[in-house]
Every structure is written in structure tokens, then in C-alpha cells.
Structure 1
Amino acid sequence: MRYLFVGDSMTIGAAGDYTWRYRMWRHLSTLGEPFAVVGPRDGLYDRAADAPVSADYADPAFPPHARRHLAGWGEGWLHLAPLVGDVVREHRPDVLLVSLGLIDLGFYTDARQTAGNAERFIAAARDGAPGVRMVLLPVIPNSRADLDPGFADECAELNTLLAKAVADHDSPESPLLLASRPEGYDILLDTYDGTHPNAQGEHKLAAAFADAMYQAWGIGAPYAGAS
């Protein structure tokens, strides 16, 4: 099984982070099943350089071949929908694990426009590989939604629209799945700034994807917890 991690700043991570991608790689490594992590990028965001040029992962033993991704600081559905088709064609993932939406709502598009870009992303990914599977994570709790009721409404509307898009476009040939919001996710305990996950939050994000794949498709196993 070949996995492509797709996301914004919560997925790429910053210099010094483990990232939830690392937690997922550790989980997959325990299953005794062949897998690969694929994608065109491998860096972390470097705040000083304001660019994704860091290789300073918290665990230096995280192997380079497992660091691959399609994620970017400040990038959302709007930015990655035009790229994903070519990436899927070149890197041949079987499963896309996608965490996008918050940055779109925060800076670029409203809920309906964002959902439209998500649908364009789905279509482009399938154009690159008609049988690809995709797991989408809804927008999760964040500090702006906690403080701004209007933004919270936008997040809720996008999550409703994503659920509808998944229901409308799911197919046996290219299954779509909307993961559940991470159980018990708390912005005070699971993030370091109200948005970006700390170590505990990283485990919860990885668990959301791992548990969704296992429960819906029988792929892998339930997430075993911190490791």
C-alpha cells in the first residue's frame, strides 16, 4: 500500500516537530504489512527562512523515504487541487490521507467555495489514478473558531459540505471516506498554539486516519496509541 499525506501547516509541520505523518509512519511500521510513503516533498517549514527547507525532524531516525508528502504551510484545497493530478500520476499512491480546509476558510475562500475546490481536488486525483482511495479529515477544533462564532459557523458548514461531497462522489472503484474528528481533541491540550498539534495532538490526528481506514475498509489496524 502506497500512502500520500496531503495537507496544510498541520501536516507539513515546522522545524523541530515530529508531525502526525511521523506518528502514522510509526503505526504503519508495526503492522507487518508492506507499505510506502510517497510524494514530491519531504521538508518541514522553517520559520526563519519562511520556506519549507528544514530537515530538522524531532526524531532524526525518521527515514528520508518516509518523510514524503504533498503539504505546505499556508496551502489549502485551493492550492493543491491544481497539483494533485500530476502528483498522483507520478507517485502512484493507493491512498490519499488529506487534512485541508482550515487555511482556506481563514484566508482564501468561504465554505461553499472551499467545498468546490475539494470536489475539484477529488476529480483531479481520480484523473491521475481512477482507482485511488481518499480519506478526508474534517476541519478540527481551532482557536479562531473558539473565539469567532462566525468562523465556527463556516467550519461547521464546510464539514457538512465535505460530508455531502463524500456521499455524492464515493464509488466502489475509487472509495471516499470522511474520517471522524479526533476523539476528545482539545485545543488547550492537543495543540501548542490553538491550531497546530503538539505530540499528543499528532497521535490523535494519526489515529483519526488509521481508525477510519480500518473501520470502513479493513485496511491496517486500529491506532495503538502513543509510541
Structure 2
Amino acid sequence: MLRFMPIGDSMTIGSAGEHTWRYRLWQHLRATCDGEFTLVGPREALYDKAADAPVSLDYAGRDPGFPRCHLAGWGEGWIHMAPVVEDAVRTCRADVLLVSLGLIDLGFYTDAGQTIANVRAFVAGARAANDRIRMILLPVIPNIRAREDEPFAAQVDLFNQLLAKTVADLDEPRSPLLLASPPDDYAIDTHTYDGTHPNERGEHALAAAFAATLHQAWGIGGEYAAPRTA
């Protein structure tokens, strides 16, 4: 059984009442993946905005079959995940990491170069737990702040350039490291509800980005088909 671990910030954990892109990807793989699979991680909850804490299990749809596990946190980035990924991979026996991080780092904690150092520490930690771990990293998707704050936008662009170089540098046959392509036609006005966090259409777009890499690189799943209404 393939064990996928979604790792990310607020765009990945989601908030109370949302489906999340994790759910959209699970639905897609359930329909297209030939082998058995599941989602794993040390956490299950959504973020509850009223409580200002990740304490909600109020997933939209409330599908009892959905494996809610993940390693994601509201306001967390590479700087937070690098120290904990080794233990999470080892404990949850993850095979594939699906990672969407960086926006929080660049916005509040570290510049592009410092963030890349944390990416390298993250990769090393994951491989220390499983030397055959496979990883797909999604570039930072610019949010509304990047549209209004030129220095921040420049850091996002620089980080994405450095991330592509780092992925190429650290990729190895035993433990593949891949860079996903950003979602096609992703726009903050149509794919988010507040300029950062994905709405239904955005959830499908993020899931499709990971699904495309899984299918094209490793033959896992199939082509992603988002609903026409998404």
C-alpha cells in the first residue's frame, strides 16, 4: 500500500467546513489508482478560525472513508516542518511526501536563501527516516500580498528559482525529488476566497498539480478531471 503524506501550511490543513485539496486528491486517486493507497500523517484536524487553533474535524461532506491524516499547520512553513519531518515519516511510514510550503516562511520568518536552507534540512530529515522516500514539492503560489508588495513578490520569485535548482541538485534515483508545475491558470481572484486560501476551484487546482506529477513521473493515478462547476 502506498502511503502519501500531505505536508503544508494553511492552504493544506484547511479550515472548518472545507473539503481541502487533500480530499480532492484522495477522491481522484480512489477513482484512478490501480493499487491500494492511503493518506498518512500525525495530524487530522482542520483549523478552527473561531478557536484560533487546529481543533476541528468538521470536514465538508463528512465522507467516512476519507483518511484525514496530514502534516500541515496554519501559519507553519519549512522552518517548522524541517525539524519534525523525520519523526513523522518514520512514525507514519510514509512513502511519498506531497509538499506545499514557503509562503509563510517568506512572509514572516526567513528570506529566500534561508528558506532554501530549511528545504535542504527537510529533505535530509525525510531521507534519514526513509532512504527511499519520494517527494513532490510545489512552488510557492503568489497570493494577494505578492500582488501588492513588490519586495515580497521578488522574494517569492527568487525562492521558486532557487527551489527548482535545489530540487535538481538533490534529486537522486533512490529517493526521487520532483518539482510540480504550478496549477494551470491559477488566479487569486477565481481560485481563492480571500486572496490566499483556496476555494473549491482552488482545491481542485492544487490537487491536480500533484496528481499530474504523480501520473506523469511515476504512473500513479490518471489524468485529473475537475468538475465543470469547480
Mapped partners of 1:219, 1:166: distance in 2:
20
Task: Spell out the pairing of 1:177-216 with structure 2 (5 A cutoff).
Answer: 177-216=178-217
Distance change >3 Å, CA 173–CA 199, structure 1 → 2: same
> CA deviation digits over 1:98-127, x for unaligned, max 9?
000000011100000001101100000000
Residue identity opposite 1:79 in structure 2:
H
Which stretch shows the higher mean deviation, 200-209 or 29-38? 29-38
The offset of 1:218, in angstroms, is 1.9
Task: Spell out the pairing of 1:66-81 with structure 2 (5 A cutoff).
Answer: 66-81=67-82
Task: Tell me how many residue pairs correspond in the alignment.
Answer: 226
**2:39 corresponding residue in structure 1:** 37
Unaligned runs of 5+ in 1: none
What SS does structure 2 have at the residue aligned with 1:63? coil
What SS does structure 1 have at the residue aligned with 2:4? strand
Say whether 1:119 aligns with 2:120. yes
Mapped partners of 2:83, 2:166: distance in 1:
18
Task: Spell out the pairing of 1:121-200 with structure 2 (5 A cutoff).
Answer: 121-200=122-201
Mapped partners of 1:63, 1:193: distance in 2:
29
Residue identity opposite 1:213 in structure 2:
L
The offset of 1:62, in angstroms, is 4.8
What SS does structure 2 have at the residue aligned with 1:130? coil
Mapped partners of 2:185, 2:64: distance in 1:
27
> CA deviation digits over 1:157-209, x for unaligned, max 9?
00011101100000000000000110000100000000000000000000000
Q: What TM-score results when the alignment is normalised by the length of structure 2?
A: 0.96
**1:58 corresponding residue in structure 2:** 60
Residue identity opposite 2:160 in structure 1:
N
What SS does structure 1 have at the residue aligned with 2:136? strand
Mapped partners of 2:78, 2:126: distance in 1:
12
Q: What TM-score results when the alignment is normalised by the length of structure 1?
A: 0.97
> CA deviation digits over 1:111-156, x for unaligned, max 9?
0000110110000000010000000000013100011111111000
> CA deviation digits over 1:34-90, x for unaligned, max 9?
1011111000000111110001111111535x1000000001000010000011011
Residue identity opposite 1:7 in structure 2:
G
Mapped partners of 2:214, 2:82: distance in 1:
22
Say whether 1:85 aligns with 2:86. yes
Select 2:51's aligned residue among 40, 49, 52.
49
Q: How many percent identity over aligned positions? A: 61
Contact kept in structure 2, 1:141 and 1:185, CA below 8 Å: no
What SS does structure 1 have at the residue aligned with 2:116? helix
Mapped partners of 2:129, 2:35: distance in 1:
25
The offset of 1:12, in angstroms, is 0.1
**1:221 corresponding residue in structure 2:** 222
Say whether 1:2 aligns with 2:30. no
Mapped partners of 1:208, 1:161: distance in 2:
20
What SS does structure 2 have at the residue aligned with 1:96? strand
Contact kept in structure 2, 1:2 and 1:38, CA below 8 Å: yes
